[in-house]
Amino acid sequence: MSDYTNGGVIILDFGSQYTQLIARKIRELNVFSRILSHDATLNDIMAYKPKAIILSGGPSSVYKQNAPEYDNDILTVDIPILGICYGLHILAQHSGGSVKSTGQGEYGYAKISITKNTEFLQSDLNGSQVWMSHMDQVIKVPDSWSIIAESSNGVVAAMASGDLNRLATQFHPEVSHTEYGKKMLENFLFKIASCNANWTPDNFIDQQVDLIRKEVGNSNVLIGVSGGVDSSVVAAIMNRAIGDKAKSVLIDHGLMRKNEALDCIHALKDGLGVNIHLEDESDNFLEQLSHITDPEQKRKIIGNQFIYSFESIASRFDNMEYLAQGTLYPDVIESGIGHGKASHVIKSHHNVGGLPKNMKFKLIEPLRELFKDEVRKVGKELGLPDKLINRHPFPGPGLGVRIIGEITSERIAILQEADKIYIDMLESEGLYDEIWQAFAVLIPVQTVGVMGDQRTYENLLGLRAVTSTDGMTADWYRMPPDVLSKISNRIVNSVKGINRVTYDITSKPPGTIEWE
Ligand code: XMP
């Protein structure tokens, strides 16, 4: 087993919207990458023993006051550096070149001419398409550097230092619109920087198992499993690392989808031998939710009861020092924890967000280095079934925020039935994996219908399906009308209590994905 964090890439973040994309593209080439703040010190950077540094783009201008800087010492080490957009500007400025705005930006597609063949940009990339997004440009190349590519608009598209140890592009090789962007990054990683390609799911699992065993010793670890992919993968890794000392619990709040709790237990317990218990807490939840219609109040009740239930379950176990949870890398970056200093996969003595203050666990977050698609690859390697791995996201409050108005057992049962038909049909029509999230919503409106010779007066059901990359923005999914028609017919004909179906065509913004 080789340490996957050695021989990778440190990306210094100057605020580009594409910084995470750089990290992902590098990881797709099986090289470990980590994003640090642009002002990380050389010591912070070297803690990861990187073989390359990448300077991201960013919204600032290098010639303005308070423009973000890097630690100048990075230029004193013999590690190849690639600057992208703002990264090119800052390298140019620090090496005696000059950067200006000519008043005319370059946005979107451009073609490049290769003016000097290098291992980074070989001459067969001549005339290929790249993606530009900049106002400033290099107007004087540093003395010891040369231009290696120009854009079709006459702008310096790429340049290199004499020893090829510093490279920079005005365009963005990390975006898919740059035709040979991946090839360029590959050239940089392997031909220029000799990075290690050891970022693979099996290597990751082996290393985590090793770290967890060393950390945990003889203690027990509690794992809260939600039914989704992240916590299921955590449960499976913990099981592989410490067997029955990992105690997984799935709290059923009565607001899960039909069969969801049992499916998850089955996959983990019967499929992988994970020590997991289903805790049916639905009476506690539903009792407090009775007659509540305000969405915020519902969330609060569900959140608080979750804490009480969790606390009472945890108190039943002895020697329970640790809690493992499925925090992912984007959460770590957003919270700022991953920025600026070398943080470790296992943190200790941490107060767990959302849990009571007096509940002290040491926290284990085995997925805190991973993006979602990487979690799925690890899940597959661990043997989780595809159905669980590819499941759409599901909110913590569950169907509680999809039953508009009052939550009753009867209304939960109606929604569970309708939602199951909807999701099963998306799967059988081969559309499920095209959609980021799909679900049904029970609307507290009754409408008149006719079935056979009978007048009906039943509930209205909303169907929602969206495409998205991260849930922050979303578009409604253009569902083929014949599929919508089949789904609507099936639901109205087989779910007692629903006689009309609508399809939600609101994007986010202005809507949200959930209805409450
Ligand atoms: P919205 O409705 O805010 O949803 O556009 C964006 C994504 O977040 C999920 N979501 C939640 N997840 N607890 C969660 O764990 C919540 O309270 C919650 N509310 C929304 C939603 O399903 C979507 O994927």
Q: Where a domain ends, among 136, 169, 192?
A: 192
What per-residue confidence (pLDDT) applies to 1?
A: 59
Give the per-residue pLDDT at 348. Answer: 32
Determine which of 72-81, 145-154, 354-363 has the lowest per-residue pLDDT on average: 354-363
Question: Pseudo-torsion of CA 269, 271, 274, 280, nearest 10°?
Answer: -30
Which pLDDT belongs to residue 427?
A: 97
Beta carbons of 256 and 226 less than 8 angstroms apart? no
Nearest CA to ligand 1 atom 14: 395
Is 399 part of any domain? no
Tell whether 241 and 355 lie within a shared domain: yes
Q: What is the pTM of this model?
A: 0.83
Q: What are the residue numbers of the active site?
A: 85, 172, 174
At 335, the pLDDT band (50, 70, 90 cuts) reads low
Fill in the DSSP letter of residue 213: H
CA nearest neighbour of 368 among 353, 348, 349, 346: 346
User: 32 or 340, which is more confident?
Assistant: 32
Which residues are bridge partners to 146 per DSSP?
Answer: 160
Q: Whose CA is nearest to atom 3 of ligand 1?
A: 512
346 and 384 both lie in a single domain: yes
Looking at 168, 192, 216, which one is the last position of a domain?
192
CA 515 to ligand 1: nearest atom = 2
Q: Do the strands 454-467 and 437-451 form a parallel or antiparallel pair, or are they unpaired? A: antiparallel
* Mean pLDDT computed over 482-510: 97
- Rounded to whole angstroms, the Cα distance separating 483 from 470 reads 26
Q: Does the residue 154 lie in any domain?
A: yes
Atom of ligand 1 nearest to the CA of 299: 17
Whether residue 276 has pLDDT greater than 90: yes
269 or 1, greater pLDDT: 269
Residue 339 has pLDDT above 60, yes or no: no
Same domain, 383 and 413: no
User: Residue 513 falls within a domain, yes or no?
Assistant: no
Q: What is the pLDDT of residue 473?
A: 86
For the chain, what's the residue count? 516
- Rounded CA separation 439/52 (Å): 44
The one-letter code for the residue type at 185 is L
pLDDT interval class at 338 (50, 70, 90): very low
| CA atoms lying within 13 Å on the CB side of residue 446 | 6
Q: From the CA of 514, how far away is ligand 1's center (Å)?
A: 6
CA of 148 to the centre of ligand 1 (A): 47
Residue that wins the pLDDT comparison between 212 and 453: 212
Domain count within the chain: 3
- Tell me if 310 is assigned to some domain: yes
CATH of the domain at 438: 3.30.300.10
Are residues 357 and 495 both part of a single domain? no
510: CA distance to ligand 1 center in Å? 15
Domain identity same for 267 and 356: yes
The pLDDT of 211-222, averaged and rounded, is 95
Task: Report the mean per-residue pLDDT for the chain.
Answer: 92
Q: Are residues 50 and 147 both part of a single domain?
A: yes
- For the beta sheet containing 350-351, the strands, ordered from the edge strand earlier in sequence to the opposite edge, are 276-280, 246-252, 220-225, 320-324, 360-364, 350-351
High-pLDDT (> 70) share of the chain, %: 94
Using a pLDDT cut of 90, give the percent of the chain over it.
82
Q: Tell me which DSSP letter residue 178 carries.
A: S
Choose the residue to mutate in 257, 391, 467, 514 for probing ligand 1, maximizing ligand atoms within 8 Å of C-beta.
514
Strand partners for 414: none
331 has a pLDDT exceeding 80: no
The domain in which residue 443 lies consists of 408-503
Q: pLDDT at residue 345 above 60? A: no
CA separation for the pair 245, 278 (Å, rounded) = 17
Q: Is residue 514 part of a domain?
A: no
Pocket around ligand 1 at a 6 A CB cut-off:
299, 393, 395-397, 437, 471, 508, 512-514
Cα–Cα distances (Å) from 350 to 302, 305, 353, 481, in that order, read 24, 22, 9, 51
Average pLDDT over residues 381-385: 96
Chain segment 19-68, per-residue pLDDT in tens: 989 999 999 999 999 999 999 999 999 999 999 999 999 999 999 999 99
Q: CA 407 → CA 411, 443, 460, distances in Å? A: 6, 11, 15
- DSSP assignments along 80-142, one per residue: -EEEETHHHHHHHHHTT-EEEEEEEEEEEEEEEEESS--SSS-GGGTT-EEEEEEEEEEEE--
E-state strands within 189-245 = 220-225
Q: Any idea what the CATH number is for the domain that residue 166 is in?
A: 3.40.50.880
Which pLDDT does position 169 carry in this prediction? 98
* Cα 36 to averaged position of ligand 1 atoms, centre (Å): 28
The verdict on residue 401 lying in a domain is: no
